[in-house]
Amino acid sequence: MYAHRVSYLLFKGPIPDGLFVLHHCDNRCCVNPAHLFLGTHNDNIADMVAKGRTARWDKKASTKLTPRLVEVIRKAEGSSRFLGALFDVCHSTIQAIKKNKKWIGVQA
């Protein structure tokens, strides 16, 4: 068990199934109970986006996609393998984009 989860358990109480222990301070090593709070996976993602901690496509030299292409992929019909071949990315990347697990800030 991670130290921040142990800290939460000791100082704040049980962690319900399906919830994560999140950090107000954004320091994953922090165990200060005043910095810890409970949330869902979606709460964690929203917190990350709100604080600007998402990867920026324009800072990655190796990226093949742009926000506009991600919009197209989200609207596109066809299998992830077909779309992956079409956009020259792995089919798992297409699946993650369609499930809003990658390129979270880009809306279709």
Query: In the chain, what are the domain boundaries?
Result: 3-50, 57-98
Distance of CA 49 to the CA centre of its chain: 8
Measured distance CA(54)–CA(38) in Å, rounded: 20
Could you report the per-residue pLDDT of 32-65, keeping only the tens digit for each?
999 999 999 888 888 887 877 766 555 555 578 8
- 53, two tokens: 């901690």
Alpha-carbon distance values, 3 to 7, 36, 81, 85 (Å): 6, 11, 40, 43
The CA distances from residue 100 to 5, 7, 44, 46, in Å, are: 27, 31, 14, 12
Q: How far apart are CA 83 and CA 16, in angstroms?
A: 39
pLDDT tens digits, one per residue of 6-16:
999 999 999 99
| pLDDT attached to residue 83 | 92
